[in-house]
Amino acid sequence: MRRIGSGLLVLALCLGTAWPAVSASRWIGSWTTASVPSEAAATLPGSPSGEVTLRQVVRLTAGGPRLRLRVSNQFGTAPLRIDGAHVALSAALAGSAVAAGTDRAVTFDGGQAGVTVPPGATWLSDPVDLPTQGLARVAVSLRLPQPPDRITAHRAARTTAYVAAGDQLAAPDLPGAATWLQWAQLAGVDVEGAEKSAGAIVTLGDSITDGTGAGVDVYERWPDVLAARLQADPRTRGVSVLNAGIGGNRLLTDNTSPNALSRLERDVLAQPGVRAVIVLIGINDIGGLSREGPVTAEKRAAVVAGLIAGYRQVIARAHERGIRVVGATILPCGGTKVYRSDADADADRQAVNAWIRTSGAFDAVIDFDAVTRDPAHPERLLPAYDSGDQLHPSAAGYKAMGEAVPIAALLAAR
């Protein structure tokens, strides 16, 4: 393992040859979201009742000749009935319109128009013949006879979704539909891996991976930047990037979402075709300590030791599946008012980062701390990379992070 710092690639590996070639029948995840349980009173926008069409636009990160959906009732408390589904290429960079001639009906279980998904389950659709390219925007429409009482959601999609009354699966556009910025009942879109380099990279993290501070419908989170880099090189166009970030997520304890260790199997290890995972998580464990009573030296030491132990668990479980694990250092957050960001908090962050850099436990390391910090005040983000809260990067910061990821280190064989 060699450390990657300040965006410089110090691993001399040959792109496109480290991962074994796969057949065209191998499925890989091309888009996913890390779902959480909705609040008990949450419902689709506009408080609809009766039949609705939910159209969600996703940007694939790798293409293929066919695709399939993964619909989810992971956090539902009752069976989820879907009476129909369609997919189509989007007609523009934003909006609900679909490209003429691309609309396809989706079936389940060998040709059924609908499906009932049990509580806690995820259901695969039948394959759909819809050739796609990497970074293509795909509209996924689900017809629900009734909005679910408990939505399986992702609360910060940063992509506009549309809710319209009745059966509008085949509608070329949904003018007047209610809009919102969440994902619901959709866990992923898989494609057949037509490229020799086919495989998936998962980014496991918190709001910095989820993209707090990034714009809507513009795809400027650091995993988006990484995906665009992969698609720009013909040798890596079969490699997808699956964003498993959740705002507020912690490695060790639940917050507004299940802790990362508890969701590791579902959100990372079980992803189709996963070959590598980038781990960037821990700042909420460190900073959130002040929300749990007085901060003592013993509590601080326990958090640092707990994060290291947690990283070792991620590494061990991923390595059992042959998955490469790349650790990322925690970004500076000095001055933030979100939670504690004093000298003690920074010392804890630096202790964790020192272990990430020097332990040799990870297969490779990305030094996001070095990429984003202010050289004059290393406990703080570089002003140009700060979204304004001294915690989350700006669009420029996310771009710098995405460009600093060493692609060769991700594709190296274990």
> Which residues on adjacent β-strands are paired with residue 188?
32, 70
366, pLDDT greater than 80: yes
Cα four-point dihedral sign 178, 184, 186, 188: positive
9, pLDDT greater than 50: no
Sole residue written with tokens 């008012």:
337
In 3D space, the residue among 148, 154, 173 whose CA is nearest the CA of residue 55 turns out to be 173
Residue 310: both structure tokens together = 């947690």
12, pLDDT greater than 50: no
Q: Which residues contact 290 (CB under 8 A, 6 or more apart)?
A: 339, 340
The pTM of the full predicted model, rounded to 2 decimals, is: 0.94
pLDDT reported for residue 193? 85
What are the contacts of 253-256 at 24+ separation with CB within 8 A? 253/285, 255/284, 255/288, 256/36
* Spatial separation of the C-alpha atoms in residues 407 and 334, rounded to whole Å: 29
19, pLDDT greater than 90: no
* Spatial separation of the C-alpha atoms in residues 337 and 120, rounded to whole Å: 37
Sole residue written with tokens 């040959």:
14
Average pLDDT over residues 38-66: 86
pLDDT reported for residue 197? 77
> Which residues on adjacent β-strands are paired with residue 58?
138
**From 132-136, 147-151, 282-286, 329-333, the region with the lowest mean pLDDT:** 147-151
For the segment 202-244, what is each residue's pLDDT rounded down to a tens digit?
A: 999 999 999 999 999 999 999 999 999 999 999 999 999 999 9
99, pLDDT greater than 70: yes
How far apart, in Å, are the Cα atoms of 383 and each of 109, 221, 334, 391, 393? 53, 18, 12, 11, 9
Element (H, E) at 344: helix 343-358
pLDDT reported for residue 20? 57
370, pLDDT greater than 80: yes
* Spatial separation of the C-alpha atoms in residues 34 and 281, rounded to whole Å: 14
For the segment 286-335, what is each residue's pLDDT rounded down to a tens digit?
A: 999 988 889 999 999 999 999 999 999 999 999 999 999 999 999 999 99
Contact between residue 273 and residue 200 where contact means Cβ atoms under 8 Å apart = yes
* Spatial separation of the C-alpha atoms in residues 103 and 82, rounded to whole Å: 18
